[in-house]
Amino acid sequence: MSEPSLGEFEELVLLFVAAHNQEAYGVLILECLEEKLQKKVNISAVHVALKRMENKGFVESNFGGITNERGGRRKKYYSITSLGKKVLDRQYELRTSIYNQIPKISFGQ
Amino acid sequence: MKPQPPKRALQFFRWFCREDYLEEIEGDLVELFEKHHEVSPSKARRGFVWSVIRYFRPGFIKAFYQGKNSNNTAMLRHNLLITFRNFKRYKSSFLINLIGLSVGLLSALLIYLWVYSEATVDGFHAKDEQLYQVMRNSDYGRGIRVYDNNSDLLVPALKEEIAEVEYAVSFVEVWSDVYLSYGEKKIKAKGKLTGEDFFKVFSYNLVQGDPNKALSDQNNIVLSKRLARSLSDNGEVELGQVVSILGETEYGARYTDDYVVTGIYDLSEQNVSERYDFLLTTKQFLSKRSPGNNHWNSNSSKTYITLHEGTDVAQFNEKLHTFFRNKRYPDKPDLDPDWGEGMFIEKFSERYLYDRYENGVRAGGRIDYIILFSAIGLMVLVVACINFMNLSTAQAFRRLKEVGVKKVVGANRRMLAFQHITESVILAALASLIAVFGAIALYPQLSMISDREIIIDWTPEMILGIIGIVIATGVIAGSYPAFYISRLRPIQILKGKLKSSTGEVVVRKGLVVFQFCVSLVLIVTVIVVTRQIEYTQSKNLGYDRDNVISFSREGKLLENYETFLNEAKKIKGVKTAATVQGDPVNFRNSGSGFFLEGHPNPSFTFARVGYDFVETMGIEIIEGRSFSREFANEETKIILNETALKAMELEDPVGNTYNIRGTKQVIGIMKDFHIQSLHEEIKPSFLIFRPEEVNTIIVKIQSGMERDALTELEKVYRSFNPNLPFEYEFLDQNYEELYNAEQRTASLYKGFALVAIFISGLGLLGLSAFTVQMRLKEIGIRKVLGSSIWKIIMLLSKDLTRTVFIALFIAIPLGYYLSQEWLDGFAYRIDLKTGIFIVSGLMVVLLAWAIVALQAFRASKVNPVECLKDE
């Protein structure tokens, strides 16, 4: 079985999950994304990506405690799995190795 | 207060989102909403709705049709177990429910079988669509009358002159039974005379013989299988053998001859309106009849035709009418076309159901009974269903805790409904099993209601009908309780604080009211029907029918009946003896005859009689005399009744001579008497003296001496006819036969009314038992506080009394209307007195009270300790 793939948007979400390990939840990820990307993202997109990656085994989740926020609804915190980290690493290596092959290109300034 | 996200969107989201995602996503959505709300509330709301919509995608929608239970069979077994435990635990409720429903269903099924059989009578002929009977109507300015008999000249003329007619056949009665003999055997049988085309027109089952030739020769006879069997000692009379008709009866004498058997038919499997034992040919009939009767105004036969396919009936009717009038009134081309006789056709298979005409228009007949009984069947079934619903919902209260616990544990509405539907279906299935077997066992008795043998074709449609009735009953009766119970809320149930909404109470009360209405209407109509029948039996008819016997003039009596009469009169206990043609309690001859200038010309009903008829029947002569041996030439004399005098506007006619079937002198006036059933008004009628044409002997016997007189009479009869049985009938029995239809209807009607009342009573019993049980604690407390037994009974009956009175209020006018409709069919009828309604009302009220009071009484006797010690 080939390793599950990782989409571009998924990769971004996974990066944020890794960045805020154990603390990442829907709204937090959404806000980070919007800040970095400088564009509107719908919360549903984040959830779709999270659920998919959970199915693929890249992230895992657990409920936080009940607080007075959000009408008593619990948050679900995501953390990256070792598989997720491996995929992320490989992706990073792949990219950097290919990036390093780029010769100095002059655009004739 | 925090801002609330859009309610509808949230509801929608909660409805579709899968449960394991719900909390997380909802939380995120709300958090976002709250954050956005601080910036722009409207934008936040829009965003929220939009996001919710975005979630409406495959990965997030829950599975609506998931088979959550993998243990379906286990649940089913559990349901069944609980069902049977409940049946066992509440035996009385179970039995009441089962009996009520099965009796109701049984009645409905029996009625269905009967209705189906009646509705398909004569419908089996292959040419059913083309098969018609030719009818005749007459209009002499006093309303149109319809007859089913025609001239013998019609069949040959139709075949020859009207192209649309494919086959035509006539059907003549052999008016009385005749004796058939084969070898040593001698059997009395009923026959008909018919034409060659008979087996082409009708699809009667000719088991032996050639349908084209069976009735072609004058001396042919076709026997029914039954007769063929009973005539022969071993096996059956076979084709080609010779059977004789003996001249022992008046009509037998006419047909005395040897006949060759050319066919054997078997009607035992066919649903026919009329059965007869043998068929002769019309050729035989015509050859024996005086040729003087061979004209277009002599109507002795019924005529059946088949039309070629695609013939337009309306056009054909017009053509037939003109054709007939040209034959009937050949010399009067300028006659008013509406005056006199005309002709039309009716579909043969519809004749059985629609045999009554009013002023020339089809006005029902047996179809009325079919509708009546279908309505009763439906009513009984509805009452039974209502019962079932009421009892099941009431009973369900006992099981509220079970439902509550199940709901808490997680049973959803669908599962609960399913459980209760299973229960209803099992009960309904048990009931229908009982009903179906009962119906199969009882349906031969159905012939009681009908004057013919009931034959049921077990066709697929018919069986589908039965299955339909059973399933519909199960679903209707079972669905309401099931849905009612499963709708209940667990918290309320477990708290024990169940309040029925007013709507439910109204529905349940309404159902009880409806039940009582049906019962009441049935009781009222049953009383009216019974009273009217008693009335017809006891009404002074103008003649004395008690202790008068009649028998037919057969054998040697054909030659010298005068000697017999003289012998008979000598017997001790015999008052008088006389002769008459036809049935003395129902004059069938009719005709017009007076052609008197300046006087109206009514239609008469008359009888041909011998000496002493008036005396034997006890008819009062108010003026003049009756036929007597002391005068000569009595054949030229006539006796009229009062109505005839009035109708003809004659004054003091005794001694005068008129032209009535020849010149006749009026010798007497009879006081009016009922010459026919009480359905008919007294008609103008007369008696004429025809001692040679009489076929019935009537003997008046002194009351108290019947047995001796009859034994002696039989001896005298035997000395004349040693080989013939002495079969006599009492006139009052003959008279009762005029009301056969009513009698049968009445007895059946009573039966079904009883069933309906029985079921309603059962329902009430169940309901009241339940109410009492529910209020047992209340009763206990009341008793402890000093309430008397009577007060408790009153308390428990109060509710019911109101219900019954509402039912009374609705049912009495309805019953009055329906009874009046039925009574309108009688020319002489009872008045609808308030007594009838009071009696029926009282009956129902008393019945209801008795049932409830009994339950209440039992409850009130309970020791308060018993019912208060728990909890």
Q: Which residues pair with B179 in a beta bridge?
A: B188, B246
Contact B25 A30 (CB under 8 A): no
CA distances from B520 to B388, B513, B840, B841 (A): 20, 10, 7, 7
A44 touches chain B (CB under 8 A): yes
Query: Which residue in the set B31, B34, B54 is minimally distant from A44, CB to CB?
Result: B54
Q: Which among A30, A34, A47 is the top mutation candidate for probing chain B, defined by the most B β-carbons within 10 Å of its own β-carbon?
A: A47
CA atoms of B586 and B52, how far apart (whole Å): 89
Residue B775's nearest CA partner among B786, B765, B763, B783 is B783
Higher pLDDT, B496 or B238: B238
CA B51 distance to own-chain centroid: 69
CA angle B88, B91, B795 (to 5 degrees): 135
CA distance B364 to B362: 6
- Reported as a pLDDT band with limits 50, 70 and 90, residue A98 is very high
Å from B70 to nearest chain A CA?
Answer: 25
B4 at interface of A, judged by CB pairs closer than 8 A: no
Least Cα separation, residue B63 to chain A (angstroms): 17
Report the gap between the CA of A21 and the closest CA in chain B (Å): 17
Q: What is the pLDDT of residues B90-123, one digit of tens each?
A: 888 888 888 888 888 888 888 888 888 888 888 8
When the pLDDT of each residue in chain B is averaged and rounded to a whole number, the result is 79
Q: Which residue of B has its CA nearest to A78?
A: B24
- What are B154-188's pLDDT values in tens digits? 888 888 888 888 888 888 877 667 788 887 777 88
Binned at pLDDT 50, 70 and 90, residue B560 comes out as confident
Model confidence pLDDT, tens digit, residues B763-821: 888 777 777 777 778 888 888 888 888 888 888 788 778 888 888 888 888 888 888 88
**Structure confidence at residue B592 (pLDDT):** 60
The beta-carbon neighbor of A73 closest among B23, B51, B60 is B23
Rounded Cα–Cα distance for residues B505 and B717 (Å):
74
Kindly report, residue by residue over B11-32, the tens digit of the pLDDT: 888 888 888 888 888 888 888 8
Q: What is the DSSP letter of B537?
A: H
Stretch B330-338: mean pLDDT: 73
Tally Cβ neighbours within 10 Å of residue B259: 23
Is the minimum CB–CB distance between A73 and chain B shorter than 8 Å?
Answer: yes
CA angle B508, B512, B513 (to 5 degrees): 115
Q: Is residue B67's pLDDT more than 70?
A: no
Instruction: Say whether pLDDT at B748 is over 80.
Output: no
Domain regions of chain A by residue span: 8-100
User: Residue B716, exposed/middle/buried by CB under 10 A (0-12, 13-18, 19+)?
Assistant: middle
pLDDT of residue A96: 92
> Average pLDDT of A30-50?
89
The DSSP result for B268-316, as a single string, is TTS--S---SEEEEHHHHHHHS-GGG-STT---BEEEEEEPTT--HHHH
**Best of A34, A66, A70 to mutate (most B CBs within 10 Å, chain B):** A70
Identify the pLDDT of residue A97: 92
> Measured between CA atoms, how close is A76 to chain B, in angstroms?
6
Cross-chain residue pair B2–A71, CB shorter than 8 Å: yes
pLDDT tens for residues B460-508? 887 888 888 877 877 777 777 777 766 766 666 666 555 556 666 677 7
Which of A44, A60, A67 to probe the B interface (max B CBs under 10 A)? A44
Top pLDDT among B81 and B723 is at B81
Cα(B835)–Cα(B408) distance, rounded to whole angstroms? 58
Q: What pLDDT is attached to residue B509?
A: 76
A69 interaction partners in chain B (CB closer than 8 Å): 31
- Nearest CA-CA partner of B518 in B247, B717, B814, B99: B814
- Give, as one character, the DSSP assignment of residue B128: G
The Cα B313–Cα B319 span in angstroms is: 10
Mean pLDDT of the A16-39 span = 88
Give the model's pLDDT for residue A1.
44
pLDDT at B645: 77
- pLDDT tens digits for range B633-643: 777 888 888 88
Residues of B in contact with A52 (CB under 8 A): 59
- Tell whether A92 lies on the interface with B, counting CB pairs under 8 A: no
- Number of A to B CB contacts under 8 A, please give it: 59
Please compute the mean of the pLDDT values over residues A11-27 and round it to a whole number.
88
Strands in B410-494 per DSSP E: none
Question: Which tokens in the block code for residue B184?
Answer: 């040593």
Contact B26/A at CB under 8 A: yes
- Quick one: what percent of chain A has pLDDT higher than 70? 95
Residue of chain B minimizing CA distance to A31: B32
The verdict on a CB contact (< 8 Å) between B51 and A48 is no
Report d(CA B443, CA B466) in Å as an integer. Answer: 13
This complex has an ipTM of 0.87
Least CA distance to A72: which residue of chain B? B27
pTM: 0.66
Instruction: Give the residue among B431, B519, B411 at the shortest CA–CA distance from B477.
Output: B431
Grade residue B250 by pLDDT with cuts at 50, 70 and 90: low
Q: Coil, strand or helix: which one is B549? A: strand
Question: Is it true that domain A8-100 has CATH number 2.40.100.10?
Answer: no
